[in-house]
Amino acid sequence: MTPELHTHPNERDKALRRRAERVVPGGMYGHSVQKFLWPGAPQFWDRGLGSHVWDVDGTEYIDLMCSWGPLIHGHRHPIVEDAVSRQMGKLDTGNGPTELFVELGELLVDLVTHAAWTIFAKNGGDVTTLALTVARAATGRSTVLVAEGTYHGSLLWASARDAGIAPGDRAHVDYFRYNDLESLQAVASAHADDIAAVIVTPVRHEAGDDQELALPEFAHGLRSFCDTTGALLILDEVRTGFRLSLDSSWTSFGVLPDLSCWSKAIANGYPLSALLGSEAIRDAARAVFKGGTFWMSAVPMAAALATLALLREERGVEQILDRGQQLMTGIRRQAAAHQIPVRVSGPPSMPYLSFDGDVGWAKAKTWAAGAAARGLYVNPSHNWFISTALTLEDVSRALEATGGAFDDLSAVV
């Protein structure tokens, strides 16, 4: 099969961008801004089904972004949609929760070893922020230690930019280096007995950068540091959650956090996040102020129950790890055959591809544009996400597209 290059002019996308420029500052914000993509990349989308997506100009792609993580079973998975549809026939946002609130709480406490309780919210940032307040309430301290450059959401204390951030917003946040216990000790010494928590992602997965797996001694060292100092260990699993394990990601190291933060893949695209915590800090979790208009909505909880049941029944985590491994092994081989030095990093279920000596992601963008022209959608400066909807045939077609993308890149480097 010879892949057909997509050469359409993206007219609908361009027209929507022009309209968006008028009613949205800069025309776009968040993940979708054009500067992260290649010239002519689609910004507006029309539909998705399983492992495939269509942009507003009708071009079809195999989807390796999965809506930035949530679509762990692919778009409109029939079993998830059935559960959603049944709940939509009863109640979504109500005067209070439905019984699904209890069922999902029980399931999460059952799945995640360290967890004794849960609090549901909407954004990942809602629960990373709530984790800080619970840790502060539990310890009576203020300072939170964060790995330099780690994304924990867009709220004030975690903002990746300075615009609009006031000094107080980060007054109690200080920074260490991921996988570097010495840097943790050094920053800790500046805060005496005031460290409420250390918050960290199970894998270092910063946009635009190679991923870095946590060293087991780093995970154990963080746990010991917290046990010694009385600080709480918060694992931000918003991106990794249910992609490495159906448990907290460091349970395999034998390292349990005190608090863990979940969202993205929890409900296959329906908006939900959850803070899970250990028994010892239940009272602190009760004491802090929390709540939101849509936090009790039942439809995302129905989606979460179906999503997690499917992952469990169909061994979904193993499947996405396997499929991702197949794909990245193929990509490494293609790169070697083209004599293009690349790095593949991160867990296979959320891999990242980068190119040696790639200034401003220029090679990655050329490569991603080549893949897109052959019907494969990936982001050149952010890790990808594998879904259980990705078939063996999809992997095979994806590798035809990536092979062509390496051809394109060879022609220009």
Which segment (162-170, 185-193, 199-207, 304-312) binds its own copies by CB under 8 A?
A: 162-170
Asked if 59 touches its own copies (CB under 8 A), the answer is no
- d(C-alpha 371, C-alpha 384), whole Å: 13
- d(C-alpha 271, C-alpha 66), whole Å: 14
Complete DSSP assignment for 82-133 = HHHHHHHTT-SS-SS--HHHHHHHHHHHHHSTT-SEEEEESSHHHHHHHHHH
Asked if 161 touches its own copies (CB under 8 A), the answer is yes
Helix axes 392-412, 316-337, angle to 10 degrees: 30
Total count of residues recorded for the chain? 413
Query: Applying CB under 8 A, which of residues 14, 60, 92, 113 lies at the interface with its own copies?
Result: 92
Strand locations in 237-303 (E): 259-262, 273-277
User: Given the complex with its own copies, which of 377 and 406 has the nearer CB atom?
Assistant: 377
Which segment (3-11, 84-92, 184-192, 395-403) binds its own copies by CB under 8 A?
A: 84-92
- Give, as ranges, the residues between 377 and 396 that touch its own copies (CB under 8 A): 377
- CB of 315: closest distance to its own copies in angstroms? 24
- CB of 276: closest distance to its own copies in angstroms? 10
Cα dihedral 396, 401, 403, 405 in deg (nearest 10): -160
User: Given the complex with its own copies, which of 165 and 340 has the nearer CB atom?
Assistant: 165
User: Given the complex with its own copies, which of 90 and 333 has the nearer CB atom?
Assistant: 90
Asked if 170 touches its own copies (CB under 8 A), the answer is yes
Q: What backbone phi and psi angles, to 5 degrees, belong to 66?
A: 50, 45
Asked if 282 touches its own copies (CB under 8 A), the answer is yes
Which segment (103-111, 201-209, 364-372, 401-409) binds its own copies by CB under 8 A?
A: 103-111
Asked if 291 touches its own copies (CB under 8 A), the answer is yes
Task: Give the tokens for residue 89.
Answer: 């026939």
Asked if 44 touches its own copies (CB under 8 A), the answer is yes
Asked if 10 touches its own copies (CB under 8 A), the answer is no
Other C-beta atoms closer than 10 Å to the C-beta of 261 total 28
- Give, as ranges, the residues between 179 and 218 that touch its own copies (CB under 8 A): none
**Binding residues with its own copies: total (CB under 8 A):** 111
Task: Give the tokens for residue 408.
Answer: 């394109």
Closest-CA residue to 251 (of 310, 308, 317): 317
Contact in structure between 262 and 202 (CB atoms under 8 Å): no
Q: What backbone phi and psi angles, to 5 degrees, belong to 146?
A: -125, 140
Asked if 11 touches its own copies (CB under 8 A), the answer is no
Asked if 338 touches its own copies (CB under 8 A), the answer is no
Element of type H or E holding 321: helix 316-337
- d(C-alpha 29, C-alpha 269), whole Å: 19
- d(C-alpha 345, C-alpha 349), whole Å: 11
Query: Applying CB under 8 A, which of residues 11, 82, 160, 315 lies at the interface with its own copies?
Result: 160
Q: What are the beta bridge partners of residue 345?
A: 352
- Give, as ranges, the residues between 244 and 273 that touch its own copies (CB under 8 A): 263-264, 269-271
| Residue 201 CA neighbour count, 13 Å, CB half | 24
Asked if 154 touches its own copies (CB under 8 A), the answer is yes
User: Given the complex with its own copies, which of 134 and 328 has the nearer CB atom?
Assistant: 134
Asked if 293 touches its own copies (CB under 8 A), the answer is yes
User: Given the complex with its own copies, which of 124 and 221 has the nearer CB atom?
Assistant: 124
- CB of 219: closest distance to its own copies in angstroms? 25
- Give, as ranges, the residues between 122 and 141 that touch its own copies (CB under 8 A): 122-126, 129, 132-137
Which segment (28-36, 204-212, 252-260, 312-320) binds its own copies by CB under 8 A?
A: 28-36
